[in-house]
Chain A
Amino acid sequence: QKEVEQDPGPLSVPEGAIVSLNCTYSNSAFQYFMWYRQYSRKGPELLMYTYSSGNKEDGRFTAQVDKSSKYISLFIRDSQPSDSATYLCAVTQGGSEKLVFGKGTKLTVNP
């Protein structure tokens, strides 16, 4: 079983739609949860950062972590064509432990 599972999609939505992206993980020791956005031929860019369970909101983006079910989500409200990218979830235990990434979900928002 992989440490982090993420549906690679692709996911195609109309502009203005609410987008839901999800990952599951296997190691209950993970405590830090991140979402990165990656445009084509670019490096990943940190979008959301959450410690432990709960919700975090930043503009149109909301990150949710449910440690009891080992499930993390990213919601994008009022999606825009500029949101078209690959979204990567990433988890870590923290300290000196490395960041473990999901495969990424490719999102296209159609005007």
Chain B
Amino acid sequence: DTGVSQDPRHKITKRGQNVTFRCDPISEHNRLYWYRQTLGQGPEFLTYFQNEAQLEKSRLLSDRFSAERPKGSFSTLEIQRTEQGDSAMYLCASTPGIMDEKLFFGSGTQLSVL
């Protein structure tokens, strides 16, 4: 499968715990995005990377959230001290480069914070 891969597909955690999600973009896609989607809403932008550089972060991304993309390949999104309001689908998307606006999404990680 050469699409965007996300792991895990589902994560159930207790409030206060830390969680980490992984995204593997399509090979040779330079730009990688993280979005969050809650029930009945469209995806909301969180952050994006151009290669290994994190170029923009949404104000939705509180200091409990951190994202990395070492070596410009896969990316991780970590949430520390999870809260019930963090429950959502976390979507990763990639695109070939600066002048290509078409995003290709993974199937997402569904997070439930109890």
Contacts and interface: CB of A to CB of B under 8 A. Distances in A.
Interface stretch (B14-22, B70-78, B80-88, B104-112): B104-112
Given A96-B55, A96-B56, A98-B33, A46 B42 contact: no
Nearest to B101: A32
B110 A43 contact: no
Interface of A: 4, 6, 8, 32, 34, 36, 41-46, 49, 88, 90, 92, 94-96, 98-104
Interface of B: 4, 6, 33, 40-45, 48, 50, 55-56, 91, 93, 98-99, 101-108, 110
A94 B43 CA distance: 18
Given A46-B102, A90-B42, A103-B41, 8 more contacts: A42-B107, A42-B108, A46-B104, A88-B42, A92-B101, A99-B45, A104-B40, A104-B42
A44 B102 contact: no
B48 A98 contact: yes
Contact of B103 (A4, A99, A103): A99
A90 B42 CA distance: 9
B56 A98 contact: yes
Contacts of A99: 33, 45, 101, 103
A47 B41 CA distance: 19
A1 to B, nearest CB: 16
